[in-house]
Amino acid sequence: MKRRVRTVVNKREMENIIDEYSILGYEIKERGNRFCMVQKNSYGGALGHIVVFILTVGLTFGLGNLLYGIFAYYHYSKQIYLKLRDGDDGSDK
């Protein structure tokens, strides 16, 4: 899973960024007073699942698709960790 850390100046900026990520399909996974973690899951594209199904259906009876979905979840999902800049009290200056 790809993880990115983004530092923000104040809580207002954090709320605006959270709203933007929500519009893009991210979900809030964890939230605290000075941080927030948003995540967008991916289980692989339809084309990838079709190709895996065609190539492995005779050998794995569909298990290949499940394994591809698990692989895609850990490889293509994105996490963004938002945190307030050190030294800020979290107020909207």
Note the pLDDT tens digit of each residue in 3-51: 899 999 999 999 999 999 999 999 999 999 999 999 999 998 999 999 9
11, 12, 56, 76, 81 from 45: Cα distances, Å = 35, 35, 16, 10, 25
pLDDT at position 87 is 67
Note the pLDDT tens digit of each residue in 49-92: 999 988 888 888 889 889 999 999 999 999 999 999 876 555 55
pLDDT at position 37 is 96
Which one, of 92, 70, 79, 89, lies nearest residue 3 by Cα?
A: 79
Which one, of 27, 44, 28, 26, lies nearest residue 36 by Cα?
A: 28
* Tokens matching residue 11: 């809580």
Report if pTM > 0.75: no
